Amino acid sequence: MTVSTTSAAFYITPVVLKTLFQHFQAKGRKISHNDSRAVATDDVFFDEAFHIVKAFIELGTLNTIESLQAFTNTHVIAPYWAAVSPVLIPLFSCNKAADVLIDWFGPDDLKCVVGGEKWWQVRGLDGLEAEWVTEKEFLGPVPADLDKKLSSEDTNILRMENLDTVMLYVHGGGYFWGSINTHRYQMIRYARKMKGRVFAVNYRKAPQYPWPCPVHDVLTAYFYLTNPPPGALHKPVPPSKIVIAGDSAGGGLCVAALTVLRDMGIQQPAGAVLISPWVDLTHSFPSVMGNTATDIIPPHGFIHKPSAIWPIHPIPPDGEPRAIPTKTNPPPLPGHADTLRPSKERLADQVEKRTEQSGEEQRPVAAGDLKDDNVQDQKTMQKEDYNEKDNTLKHSGPSYGTHQTTIRDDDPNYDEALSFWEPKPPKVLMNNPHATPLELRSQIQIYAANEQLTHPLVSPVLQGSLGNLCPLYIIAGDAEVLRDEVMYLAHKAAHPQDYPARKGVLSSGVRQRENAGKFQTPTKVHLQVFDGMCHVLTVFTFTDSAKYAYRSIAQFVKHVTTHSAEHLDTNPFPEFHVPPEDISASEESLERMEPKRGQQSSKFAHFFKRSRGTAPAPIDSQVEKTDVALYKENERAAKEEHEIGATETMLEDREADPGSSRSSSKDKDIPGVRMLRERVDIFGQVRPMEPESEIEALHIPPRLIGVIREDPVKRWLSGQEEWDKKFHRKAVQAVRRRGHYHKKFDALMERARAQGLELFHDADSPAGHRQERSPMAPVYSRTSMGEIMAERRYGPCDIADEQPPESAIVGRRDNRESLALMKKCIYFTAPTTHRTVPKRTAADAFRAAVDTEDYVLKSPKQSVAEQQSESNILPIHGLRMWQGILTYYMRKSTVKATKRRHSMPNLNSRQPSNGRHGTSDTGMNSAIHT
């Protein structure tokens, strides 16, 4: 079984029926017990949608990663009222972003932490997929001097130039699935609400393209907007007109990109919208364990049926469990992974130990095979001073870069020893201090290696400082597993001095130490936590919470892109702008359905689409303005919060004029607010958040943030071991397939060499070992089908001296996607390091005729982690059906709201609620009769 429209329908339909039955059972019990508390799942549409999403993600874990990626990265046609223009960002912009990242990392981290500077620049496509999105009604006139050769999609890009505001959207999906197709319906909604355009990037994804590939692609998209390459149809977009936004993994990538821009002195966008950002990949915050039952994230995390791509080891090596009691004493300390930048002493010690043990056991010994005679318990490990081997171990050492000194060394044997270095397995911080810590024998996150999880660009919550960033609007669900890290991130950004990074992170590199002292200006933050809502609440567009969130996001975007930097420095919050920005009721309309297609008619067609000429059903105009009314009401509430001192103001403003920051003047903005902290109930109404002293997550010591803990590890381990048993035969088949592809890969290279493949760095090349082809040099092509690219580009043949992560397809030979990537770089669009493009023979054509994975006349299909798939089997793809379900729920919930408003005219009056549990007494009598 694979993830497909059919399999999803079969798997999810029983869930829909079961949820419906249980929903009305639960409501019956509430009526019988006279329970007047309202919770988010009292809404039958939210209850159904929540369980549909949860079931779909669960279905994904029962299948391979490639299957889930292919389904969620399938091109889906946009609705007729949307203007969607796909583009391929060229290598010009990719290389600009790469140069910035190379400078950010520096030579030492590039070599030791990242694994090189070339492998993450390798891509199968000749650029980066992206899309311009807006509503057709917002398009300007067709330019008078239009080149008639342009397609309608390209013409629309020119017609979007009248829209100044641009949202750069980075979709979520755990860093390894999802695409612009899964999130397009949300992006269309943002474009409509803010009356602007959205630029969405389809970044490369793990495990095929692990960190830092996604960060590279997000920066590429930003530079494409601000500095268009030659041939781009759009004009340069000033950073002051850009807001970067993302959900989940996309939110984490946004924070990482912002810190790179800040650190490199590059102008940041006007603002950022972070929706449930995933910023701690070590899962060190309490809500990861406490909110599992109320969230859509699988309880065991993202584990999948084994394949040739993932996991790295389909069958645990040597038959050992994926986590075992540690065999060695520190380093690393419990809760941490070993360093990727070893000191000279650590290198010498490991070389000596591995060489000695290899001689005793008569076999090669890896770092994971090392053993100590007397392994201590955790408490003893934490007490001992291991400063003799590494001078930072006495401080809660980081998961990477534990050595304070530079990696450069005058020892001529250092580089050779460094290639021999292997980090020891990470140790887990146990609940029982007298227990022997576990050590991990498998990679626990798909996005990055265990040793990279606490790098500040992987887990941005561990940045040395989050000050000096552009204004942030951050939202999270109170019932989601990432709630605590989102709240911590927001407060750390607004209070850089109060939430310092742990000492180990600061000692890991010069940049983070400098950042901690350099960037101390508080970032302006608006934090909202929504009662009863799960991860990425904007998925559920029909709920009151989401309706308010979309409107509030749109107002934030419009505010920060239409006012000067000086104005935003004093007031980045639209809620405090005076006079309040007028929101016309004409901006609001019901969710429109897709056009009816003649070849797709059925008695259920109305569920997914409507005829082009069909007008929306007449609904009370008061209801059409629901999110506008909510926003205006919450805008007034925010001003009331400020009047009673529930907002945080800048210290200098209070000292200058104690009364000015809370002025009741009705003709000027409220200036100097540093942070606006709010909770939002299930009806979309805001109230002040409780004091920081009452929020558990804000009292975690810095030394315990970014630590690998026992409870999350054991939960992941139990799920992974269950999957290992459940899919043992599939794992054996995956290992066998890897061997099959390895043979095909070797045969490919042998044929390519025989057909004339020559590289500039070949040992016998007259061009020399390191030379690359100049863009002006002639192309030594032996076929008219392929070409050597003029722009700087690398391929799998160029990384012999690098160490990409084990999952990266650029460094592998054991899967279809690695094979396709190599064929693309040899025969079709070769990097500048290639002297020739080999000529394929008649035998190749015959071989391709019997091999569905081979091509002669066209480039092979690239990894589903990079290239969109086409849906050719069913006329309606599952993603389109999901959009139809949301549209249906939106219309039904609107009708329900109409009836509720008619029966309860005082529904909009503000009422207290027990929001931390997603409950409220307001409106319960009508809700239980839904």
Tally of CB atoms within 10 A around 15: 17
* Sequence-separated (6 or more) residues with CB below 8 Å from residue 7: 1, 59
| C-beta of residue 295 within 8 angstroms of C-beta of residue 499 | no
Burial of residue 74 (number of CB atoms within 10 Å: 0-12, 13-18, 19+):
buried
Round to whole Å and give the CA distance between 726 and 609: 40
Conformation bin of residue 38: beta by default, left when phi > 0, alpha when psi is -120 to 50: beta
Pair type for strands 271-275 and 438-440:
unpaired
> What are 159's two structure tokens?
């017609």
- Residue 866 is which amino acid? E
CB 927 within 8 A of CB 30: no
Which 3 state secondary structure label does DSSP give 667?
A: coil
Whole-angstrom distance, CA of residue 435 vs CA of residue 840:
62
What residue type is assigned to position 564 of the chain?
Answer: S
Closest-CA residue to 456 (of 386, 418, 540, 513): 513
Q: What is the 3-state secondary structure (H, E, C) of 166-194?
A: EEEEECCCCCCCCCHHHHHHHHHHHHHHH
Query: Which residues are the active-site residues?
Result: 248
Q: Give me the phi and psi of 541, to 5 degrees please.
A: -60, -20
Spatial CA neighbour of 378 closest among 332, 346, 334: 334
CA neighbor of 397 nearest in space, from 409, 415, 385:
385
Residue pair 802/118 in contact by the 8 Å Cβ criterion: yes
Q: Which amino acid is at 628?
A: V
Place of tokens 């057909």: 755
Strand partners, 675: 525, 648
CA nearest neighbour of 493 among 271, 310, 320:
271
469: closest CA among 268, 702, 712, 726?
A: 268
**What is the residue type of 266?**
I
Give the burial class of 796: count Cβ atoms within 10 A of its Cβ; 0-12 exposed, 13-18 middle, 19 or more buried: buried
Amino acid letter for position 340:
L
Residue 170 phi, psi dihedral angles, 5° rounding: -115, 110
Distance CA(547)–CA(190), nearest Å, equals 11
Q: What are phi and psi of 594, to 5 degrees?
A: -75, 155
Q: What tokens were used for 576?
A: 């405090």
With CA atoms as reference, report the closest residue to 558 among 188, 165, 160.
165
Give me the phi and psi of 197, to 5 degrees please.
-130, 150
Contacts of 236 by beta carbon, 8 Å cutoff, 6+ apart: 225, 226, 227, 228
Cα–Cα distances in angstroms (integers) from residue 84 to residues 75, 197, 883, in the given order: 12, 10, 16
Distances (CA, A) of 78 to 132, 165, 250, 774: 12, 21, 21, 42
Tell me the three state secondary structure of residue 604: coil
- CB within 8 Å of 263: residues ≥ 6 apart: 104, 511, 515
User: What are the b/e assignments for 917-926, b being 16+ CB within 10 Å?
Assistant: ebbbebbbeb
Instruction: Evaluate whether 60 touches 304 at the Cβ level (below 8 Å).
Output: yes
Residue keyed to tokens 């091999």: 851
